[in-house]
Chains A and B, each alone.
Chain A
């Protein structure tokens, strides 16, 4: 299974493919044990992550009042954060905006991006060949798979449950 092939299956489940592409990928998967196997894992992963997301605990940081207080404090850092009850907490919008922009600007300068993490020793196998052809890898993978008449990963004897 190439990264690109799995990406297509994943996009299929996410409803991101055009009708035409979805039909093509689905038709392929029906006759391909490796793709069906990958689809089972992908579906399960989606189910797990959805269950996990639903269990997001309620945290103090998710209370908007806490954010309001912080925005007020950010807006007027040197002022005692008292305000009349009728006063909008958004009074300091402009000050805060400038402060935040300055922060972002400084931060942007300090941002370091790490370089590529490709490790030649990793057994990347056929995928690296496909990946090397660049962004059009779906086509390359599909062509290669068509030539060998199977998905890039062969799973003979794979017991599949439906």
Chain B
């Protein structure tokens, strides 16, 4: 039942640990490999938080400049992917402050228990066509920033709940609750588009 997730973030294999060791020792080729592995995910995370591709370009570069300078501070037990996304989030928060963007200006999603009335998706709903992708992005955009970040760390970047707690500075319980609510909100917003059966 184990599901391999294509497009998921690279896992921290022995290969990655070795690359990391070399990068820390000052090997630019190793750092480049790590950059090429992780930059697309970091960019996507920032694009989803900033909702602006050019701002995400800038923030991605800034994230890796900082990561490069802080590589020695990465603890052995920390996973590079989670660590980079943590830096990206800080860069995002800083950029938002400097642009004077108000926190949570977007409409707060209705946090309701809606599951009972959601349709069960049908197999054809699995295809993310352009229209659905647009709706998904729109639905993500309605989530409060922190909730969106936590959800994406899980469903896009595959971080374990414990690592999300560490990145967000939350308790494990809060992580679970926020992600659950974010999921319900997405489902509610997308269910109108689904062709599946309704209870």
Contacts and interface: CB of A to CB of B under 8 A. Distances in A.
B171 interface: yes
Contact of B128 (A22, A48, A110, A134): A48
A13 B136 contact: no
Listed from nearest, the 7 A-B pairs whose CB atoms lie closest are A100-B69, A53-B7, A3-B180, A61-B57, A15-B2, A51-B128, A50-B7
Query: Considering residues A4, A50, A100, A111, which has the most beta carbons from chain B within 10 angstroms of its beta carbon?
Result: A50
Q: Helix, strand, loop or mixed for chain A's interface?
A: helix
Interface-centre pick from B111, B158, B180 (highest chain A CB count, 10 A): B180
B19 interface: no
B57 A53 contact: no
A107 B128 contact: no
B120 A40 contact: yes
Nearest to B67: A100
Interface residues of A, number: 80
A49 B183 CA distance: 13
Contacts of B1: 12-13, 15, 22, 26
B66 A53 contact: no
A40 B199 CA distance: 14
B105 to A, nearest CB: 14
B106 interface: no
Contacts of A86: none
B68 A71 contact: yes
B65 to A, nearest CB: 6
Interface string B1-17: 11101111000000000
Interface string A40-80: 11011111111111111101111010110011001000000
A61 B3 contact: no
B116 A155 contact: yes
A159 interface: yes
B75 interface: no
Given A4-B176, A37-B120, A41-B187, A159 B66 contact: no
Interface string A1-30: 111101100111111100000100010000
Contacts of A137: 173, 176
Contact of B171 (A45, A107, A135): A135
A52 B136 contact: yes
Interface string B145-187: 0100000001110101100000001011110110111010011
Label chain B's interface by main secondary structure: helix
A1 B39 CA distance: 35
Nearest to A5: B180
Contacts of A107: 90, 94
Given A53-B7, A107-B94, A131-B177, A41 B57 contact: no
Contacts of B180: 1-3, 6-7, 127
B158 A14 contact: yes
16 contacts: A37-B118, A41-B120, A44-B121, A50-B5, A52-B133, A59-B57, A62-B60, A66-B61, A71-B65, A107-B90, A111-B90, A111-B93, A114-B146, A117-B144, A123-B112, A159-B199
A104 interface: yes
Interface string A86-98: 0011100100110
